[in-house]
Structure 1
Amino acid sequence: METQNNNNELVLVTGGSGFVALHAIRQLLDEGYQVRATVRSLKRKDEIVTSLKNAGISEFENLQLVETDLSADAGWNEAMKNVDHVLHIASPIFLRLPKTEEEMIRPAVDGTLRVLKAARDAGVKRVVMTSNFGAVGYSHRDPSILITEEIWTDPNEKGLSAYNKSKVLAESAAWDFIRKESNGPELTVINPVAILGPSFSEKLSSGFELLKNILDGSMKAIPNIELAIVDVRDLVDLHIRAMKSIEAKGERFLALSGGTMTLPEIAEFLKKNRPEVSAKISGKVLADWQVRLAALFSKKAKAIVPLIGINRKASNEKAKKILGWQPRTKEDAILATVDSLLKFKQIKTS
């Protein structure tokens, strides 16, 4: 992998208070970069500093926080000033469930274009954008097909959630923008699967909620949903490799440990490897038809239905070959997540 030099470059990380972004800030600081992170409110500064201290960061002179929002132009030009690279990790935040899918799609597309336009105007070298697997593999349900970066989700796929539709349309808009801009930044896109791994705070991402619900028994029966997993530390490592690598220009990379596990398989794995927290795990497996039936009455079940039958057998060979990426196993990521749930007292030992 041919890389560009660090030279104390300034990297902008969007969505600075988020699970992935905090890991990105930590790794960038460890590697000697200057880091500027965007937050929707500077009132979250203490929360971010505490999380980074939990991550082992003790010096903060190389970190700046700036207040911006993906839904507004204010602050973005200032945020991009003198920036060499952008890790665009932030996603729009919804304080309530949108009434229409357009309410979710429009902010995702507009927010992405807002970041890219500000990066273009500031002369940023490269933007590494976090998309997700929902933009790649949700239209390809044949388990005999190994999903690669060449594949795209059809935004008109029947049953596609508004969230995943927003992801595929935002990524498409990003590539369209770059193709049309002769003086824009370089673009690389990372498409992660389910993100697990250690947390720096008690704030739970969606992956943590899923494991917590399995472990604390609130998931009374476990749906037979297949997951591909990536550890957050490896996901951030891939972002930084993509930022530095000359060969990563104009490429997208799937981020996954390799292989898949169903939720019942994860439950059995936890019973064997973390028995001290597994006493409440349900032994019941929920058939797909039962999930669809429950969805008529339950919002939680309704949210699960789009996950049924998705082929998550995907390849990480491109990231390994081009960027020298060597991710941890999915089992390591699961155990690190459980250890964080214990550390921050989100679950109890039996």
Structure 2
Amino acid sequence: MTPKERGTVFVSGATGFIALHIINNLLQQGYKVIGSARSQEKVDHLLELFNNNPSLSLEIVPNIDNPEAFDDVFKKYGNEIKVVLHAASPIPRPSTDYEKEYLIPAVEGVKSILNAVKKYAANSVERVILTSSAAAAQNSTDVVSEESWNDATWKGCQTDSWNAYAGSKTFAERAAWEFMEENKNVIKFTLTTVNPVYTLGPQAFSDKKFASTSAYIEQIISSTEDNITPKIAFWFVDVRDVAKAHILAFQNDNLVGKRLLLAADTFSYQDVLNIANEDFKELNGKIPIGEPEKADALTKENKGLLDNHKTKELLGFEFIGLRQCVDDSIKQILEVKH
């Protein structure tokens, strides 16, 4: 099947950690891909990474908070795009202007792309997939599930970068579902959201500059006994499973209208240290040992705080485990460093 027969997929935020894996998978499966990036420099770099694949083209969208940010893209390609994967959104980073850096771009980005589809691609786009986050489902009272929602308020989430990020994901996803409800009588495309927890794993391409979440493992194996990260536990999912879920989200009709909560298992800094010391003997004595026997206790208390059995049943594939995720990440990191 040719890329034309497969159909064209638009991926916003094409240079992102997750988006690069999505694009790689789409091209391997025979789709034509149109992506967006914020500058010509990023466009050129991305085309180089994919060896100027003729099935990949890129457009510059400098500011997703512009109400007409995606209009030109959909004016140009609207008649051929069948699927929209909206992965562009602010990522956690130090900031003090939380509205400008997180909340407004996330919400307006969702509104601008959905309105562009409505105006210029209403007869061609069939599915919209939004990259949300488990942060949009997490609150202080409920077990995190496909039905739960972050109860953050616009003002209340502006206390620090993490809460601003969680709030941005929450408000952006709510804006998407509200758009679908308000326009249900005038649009034919459907919406599915992908809500991953802390996303780890190797990058789609080896690069000296590691993406924010893959850098977490890089920081661990570069650390010393004197600067060990606090021993806390999280839920994780491998980036390759996140990319896989995005594609299944538009390929499978039973995923229409769903929130897909992606989580493989809990993990701690100590778990990563244990795997690194056990599986990479060349690192022994160069990285901390920590307290290996405490790994289970660190993760046990988080086990009951999330339930995504519905998502796992819908997707129908087994998630990559922590050991493979960490091993593949460290192999890539060591190759780049040496």
> Is TM more than 0.5 here?
yes
Alignment of 1:1-350 (within 5 A): 7-53=5-51, 60-68=53-61, 69-73=63-67, 76-80=70-74, 81-82=78-79, 83-92=81-90, 97-101=95-99, 103-121=101-119, 122-123=121-122, 124-140=125-141, 145=143, 147-156=144-153, 161-182=163-184, 183-184=186-187, 185-199=189-203, 200-202=205-207, 203-217=209-223, 220-257=227-264, 259-284=265-290, 313-345=305-337
Cα deviation 1:225-282 (Å, max 9, x = unaligned): 112221111111100000111111111001122x211112221221112232353333
Shift of 1:107: 1.6
Whole-angstrom distance in 2 between the partners of 1:312 and 1:99:
35
TM-score, normalised with respect to structure 1:
0.80
- Give, as a single letter, the amino acid of the residue that structure 1 aligns with 2:218: K
How has the CA–CA distance of structure 1 residues 133 and 93 changed in structure 2, closer, same or farther, with 3 Å as cutoff?
closer
8 Å contact from structure 2 (residues 11, 19) kept in 1? yes
- Contact 2:273–2:290 (CA<8 Å) still a contact in 1? no
Letter in 2 for 1:196: L
What are structure 1's unaligned runs of at least 5 residues?
Answer: 1-5, 54-58, 286-308
Structure-2 separation of matches of 1:88 and 1:213: 29
Indicate how the Cα distance of structure 1 residues 222 and 275 shifts in structure 2: closer, same or farther if over 3 A, else same: farther
Amino acid at match of 1:153: N
CA positional deviation for 1:330: 2.2
The structure, 1 or 2, with the larger RCO (C-alpha pairs under 8 Å, 6+ apart) is: 1
CA distance in 2, matches of 1:191, 1:127: 14
CA contact (8 A) 2:69 2:112 kept: no
Provide TM-score, normalisation by structure 2: 0.82
Q: Distance in 2 between matches of 1:7 and 1:86?
A: 17
Instruction: Give the distance between the partners of 2:316 and 2:201, measured in 1 at CA.
Output: 21
Q: How far does the alpha carbon of each residue in 1:147-167 deviate from its partner, in whole angstroms, 9 at most, with x for none?
A: 321111111478761111111
| C-alpha contact (below 8 Å) 1:11/1:85 kept by paired residues | yes
Distance 1:215 1:246 in 2: 42
Partner of 1:205, secondary structure, is coil
1:180 Cα deviation after fit: 0.7
Question: Aligned equivalents of 2:113 and 2:279: distance in 1?
Answer: 43
8 Å contact kept, 1:104–1:163:
yes
Q: Which letter does structure 2 place at the counterpart of 1:63?
A: L
Residues 24 and 103 of structure 1: is their aligned pair in 2 closer, same or farther, counting only changes over 3 Å?
closer
Distance 1:94 1:229 in 2: 16
Instruction: Report the Cα distance in structure 1 between the residues aligned to 2:219 and 2:304, rounded to whole angstroms.
Output: 22
The residue type equivalent to 2:25 in the other structure is: Q
Q: What are the superposed Cα offsets for residues 300-335 of structure 1, whole Å, 9 maximum, x if unpaired?
A: xxxxxxxxx977843342233223233211221111
Secondary structure of 2:219's aligned partner? helix
Partners in 2 of 1:335 and 1:40 — Cα distance?
32
The answer to whether the 8 Å contact 1:12/1:37 transfers is yes
User: What stretches of structure 2 of length at least 5 have no aligned partner?
Assistant: 292-300
Contact (CA 8 Å) 1:228, 1:313: kept in 2 or not?
A: no
Q: How far apart are residue 8 of structure 1 and its match?
A: 2.0
SS in structure 1 of the partner of residue 213 of structure 2: helix
RMSD: 2.6
AA of the residue aligned to 2:104? R
Separation of aligned partners in 2, 1:270 and 1:21: 27
